[in-house]
Amino acid sequence: LAIAPSQFQNQQIILTAEQQHYLSRVLRLREGDRFIAMDGLGHWWLAKLEGNQAQILEPILQPNTELPVAITLMAALPKGNGFDEVVRYSTEVGVVAIVPLVSDRTLLNPSTGKLERWRRIAIEAAEQSERQIVPTILDPVPFATALSLAKDKNYICVARGDSPHLRDCLQNKDFAGSGDSPNPESRIPNPQHPSIAIAIGPEGGWTAAETEKAIASGFQPVSLGRRILRAVTAPLVALSLVAAAFED
């Protein structure tokens, strides 16, 4: 169960109503039953349910399930609830941060409610896939702002044209890490992780001006193959390629 740092008080965890419901109604735990609590920063504990609280029993040393590369997904908001899937799947594949983009052709107006929902989905997906960290979901930003968040290596996925395949660009992994680890407070031993940003456009694609600005900011245009992928599918394909190239 993912617990916010503010919920820890000495050796106790103050559970929210939603967490109490999840533990007792969904997982069917009873008073005194044990469960694993995680803080999303790489720390796990064995905890014991005590009414609306839980007692921390002992720390658990989990095998590191994080990727040896810090991937940030910058994805234009698709229409409807499409971003829910983007958040869920990219968390499962292993991103450390997701930047919702408002691009020239973005159709969705991001609301605070949606942002909270995406953060909840990221927590659920991180729990489900037994990750040490919960990815950060940034507030939605205009495309130009996202370009200033560039990493060691930056790719913009372009659906048409003759860009090289992302797979081929990743074969040359000689870019050094800047020490941008998934989380500096985490105990995950990854001081040399390279950091990568992947940008994905909306249903209508990028405008020519956006692609040009991205290239001028150091983003390399890449292809994900000859087929046109949906704005929801493209992040999953791109992230899987990066994960496969780096995972040992």
| Residue 207 beta carbon to ligand SAM: minimum distance, rounded to whole angstroms | 10
| Residue 248 beta carbon to ligand SAM: minimum distance, rounded to whole angstroms | 26
**Nearest CB to ligand SAM, comparing residues 89 and 206:** 206
Task: Cite the beta strand spans of 117-241 per DSSP E.
Answer: 136-137, 141-142, 153-157, 195-200, 220-222
229 forms part of the interface with ligand SAM (CB under 6 A): yes
Place of tokens 């969904």: 26
Out of 65, 228, 244, 247, the only residue in the binding site for ligand SAM (CB under 6 A) is: 228
Out of 21, 189, 230, 244, the only residue in the binding site for ligand SAM (CB under 6 A) is: 230
Instruction: Assess contact for 211 and 156: CB atoms under 8 A.
Output: yes
| Residue 99: burial class (beta carbons within 10 Å; 0-12, 13-18, 19+) | buried
- If phi over 0 gives left and psi between -120 and 50 gives alpha, with beta otherwise, what is residue 10? left
**Nearest CB to ligand SAM, comparing residues 169 and 188:** 169
Kindly write out the interface string for residues 172-211 of this chain, putting x where it contacts ligand SAM by CB under 6 A and - elsewhere: ----------------------------xx-xxxx-----
SS (H, E, C) 47-82: EEEECCEEEEEEEECCCCCCCCCEEEEEEECCCCCH
Kindly write out the interface string for residues 144-163 of this chain, putting x where it contacts ligand SAM by CB under 6 A and - elsewhere: -------------xxxx---
What residues line the site for ligand SAM (CB under 6 A)?
157-160, 200-201, 203-206, 223-225, 227-231, 234
